Chains A and B, each alone.
Chain A
């Protein structure tokens, strides 16, 4: 899961966008209604004017009608209010309308002229117009129309005002929204950064709480309370475990010392073997307690006191040299393949301990005559170490569990060991912020240690989700 939302995933951004869209739609509706109402009103006024003019001219004497029409059109040289008189054959008789508009119904009602009317002052450019036609008692047709471009101009002004208004509202709105979003996003980022060490297992860390006391602070405070409780419980459980291990070590060590002294005194007697067997058992218990306390010690270390620049190739050569005789005694070819590697920041002693544990396991669980390989190479982000063997491997459903304390897989129940080796490895890997991948090679187990800090969102210690480039299989 991507823990860092992008700009559009932010709740604040979404709210701003939704509000902006609603505001724009509302603005369009509001201005649309204003435009529609204004146009309707002005059209009503024009219609009244046209009806009055029609009534006035139609009521004149039919003999004086052409002169009246010519006089009416003469006072309007721009053709804003046009008047035309046509005979029954639709030929113009008087006025400034050249041709009878064919689409205009002669019912005495005002209509929108389908093709408009030519304006004499604009080189006969046709303009939108409303008009009415009336059939006079002598068969002539009287037409009166009015240019409505004033109303259209008013509509255009309103539309332009609308666009300007929306632009002047939305642009500052978006800008303001961006600025408003920055504060919460900054706080969310701070919260996310604060959770990184917590997700990596450091329960001592807390989320930042500001003095605002808003919803984010309330939520952070709740999470902090939960973290405190989880830390207390974890500490208690771990403390009980560690205290048992710690407190039992002293009497067991003293018991072992007594057995040792008694064994020295009983040298050569039958009881000596019994004492030796008892000491072996006590040593096994002490080894487990030591390992358990070692895991706790590593988990409690929250600083990199001994971190330095380390040549991991040198550490691998030491590990190989340390385990080569053991592999040889078991008839296992033990291959070392170290490519040129970049230096890393690490604790060389702890790194040796982790790798020695991994190699020791590979040798221990691979049957005599099998093969073990220790390889190191550079991947895109840094050095990686692969420990590959031809043993039974670690089943997929056990890979997450093997790093838990005292977990013994089916393949390891009959093998000597504390069951804490991989817990120690995991603790060391976590301390370095590295990742350990437990997988399957063609021939057996493949454990990969990535010697560089994990990517955001990945958990240090073990990482079972990373796509691992395939390694060259062992030839057994």
Chain B
């Protein structure tokens, strides 16, 4: 069971984070002070840390910077009310791995936490597999049932992100940030259109559907249908 340290001074927000992480099968511990959070992160081995920006005792930026200086490489999900691009950049430059703005949807927060946990696991540098779908990370080619698929560069990046996080719910914002590298709300159904085009190439007629829509949240690539909350 992954161990998560929640460093958050607002009790209501902390309860929300802990509850959501627990639902997703994680063991969450909560501290309300930046200094205490840094001490706890230094003493114990956590799989993930969620870190607020504005904390008593020690600012979130200082906490993550001090952790990186102390060679603590635990993934850090920064959660902050400061939504400006500059604040995001500062947080990531200080050593944060992802940045989520308050108020956040709990399922979005949990999805980001799971992606960060996945990133920590050693991964094969050669090939990714999901059922009979294969992605060759060296040749940048995709195969379904042994047959090569013709993918555009964006479709390849999108598929790689989905496959690296297979069986994991990914929100539209996460997809847009990772695949395109931008941090704003495109405000239209553009991500859905891109997923739709990829889906037509991957899940052709008669084949097991691998890309699924998770209603109200985003998408998931999985071969195990019974793990899906809701699919379409």
- Note all chain A residues with C-beta closer than 8 A to B105: 253, 256-257, 260
Tell me whether A417 is interfacial, beta carbon within 8 Å. Answer: yes
Tell me whether B148 is interfacial, beta carbon within 8 Å. Answer: no
A61: min CB distance to chain B, Å: 123
Residue of A318, A352, A356, A360 contacting most chain B CB atoms (<10 Å): A356
Contact across chains for A276 and B183 when beta carbons are under 8 A apart: no
Among candidates B103, B104, B186, B197, residue contacting A325 with C-beta atoms closer than 8 Å: B197
A116: min CB distance to chain B, Å: 95
Among candidates B154, B182, B197, residue contacting A349 with C-beta atoms closer than 8 Å: B182
Tell me whether B194 is interfacial, beta carbon within 8 Å. Answer: yes
The stretch from B83-91, B134-142, B159-167 touching chain A is: B83-91
- Note all chain B residues with C-beta closer than 8 A to A263: 215-216, 230
Tell me whether A305 is interfacial, beta carbon within 8 Å. Answer: yes
B92: min CB distance to chain A, Å: 13
A205 to B122, CA, bound (A): 54
Q: A249-B103, A260-B107, A349-B85 are contacts. A329–B216 as well, Cβ < 8 Å? A: no
Tell me whether B226 is interfacial, beta carbon within 8 Å. Answer: no
A293 to B215, CA, bound (A): 26
Q: Which residue of B lies closest to A364 (CB)?
A: B188
Q: Which residue of A lies closest to B87 (CB)?
A: A297
- Note all chain A residues with C-beta closer than 8 A to B83: 293, 297
Contact across chains for B186 and A301 when beta carbons are under 8 A apart: no
A64 to B104, CA, bound (A): 137
Count of residues in B whose CB is under 8 Å from the partner chain? 32
A142: min CB distance to chain B, Å: 111
A352 to B215, CA, bound (A): 28
B residues 124-165 touching A (CB-CB < 8 Å): 154
- Note all chain B residues with C-beta closer than 8 A to A206: none
Contact across chains for B229 and A353 when beta carbons are under 8 A apart: no
Assign chain A's interface to a size class. 35 or more
Q: Which residue of B lies closest to A353 (CB)?
A: B184
Tell me whether B72 is interfacial, beta carbon within 8 Å. Answer: no
A residues 392-427 touching B (CB-CB < 8 Å): 417-418, 421
Contact across chains for B190 and A323 when beta carbons are under 8 A apart: yes
Tell me whether A212 is interfacial, beta carbon within 8 Å. Answer: no
A357 to B188, CA, bound (A): 9
Contact across chains for B104 and A253 when beta carbons are under 8 A apart: yes
Contact across chains for A305 and B86 when beta carbons are under 8 A apart: yes
Q: A267-B230, A301-B84 are contacts. A291–B185 as well, Cβ < 8 Å? A: yes
A297: min CB distance to chain B, Å: 6
- Note all chain A residues with C-beta closer than 8 A to B84: 297, 301
Tell me whether A229 is interfacial, beta carbon within 8 Å. Answer: no
Interface residues of B (CB under 8 A from A): 16, 83-86, 89, 102-107, 154, 180, 182-190, 193-194, 196-197, 215-217, 229-230
Interface residues of A (CB under 8 A from B): 249-250, 252-254, 256-257, 260, 263-264, 267, 276, 279, 287, 290-291, 293-294, 297, 301, 305-306, 318, 321-323, 325-326, 329, 349-350, 352-353, 356-357, 360, 364, 417-418, 421
Q: List 28 A-B contacts (CB under 8 A).
A: A249-B103, A253-B103, A253-B104, A260-B106, A260-B107, A260-B216, A260-B217, A263-B215, A267-B229, A267-B230, A287-B185, A287-B187, A294-B185, A306-B86, A321-B154, A322-B190, A323-B190, A325-B190, A325-B193, A326-B190, A329-B193, A349-B85, A349-B182, A353-B184, A356-B186, A357-B187, A360-B187, A418-B187
Besides A290-B185, A325-B194, 18 new A-B residue pairs in contact (Cβ under 8 A), listed by A number: A287-B187, A291-B187, A293-B83, A297-B83, A305-B86, A306-B89, A321-B154, A322-B190, A325-B190, A325-B193, A325-B196, A326-B190, A326-B193, A329-B196, A349-B182, A350-B85, A360-B188, A418-B187
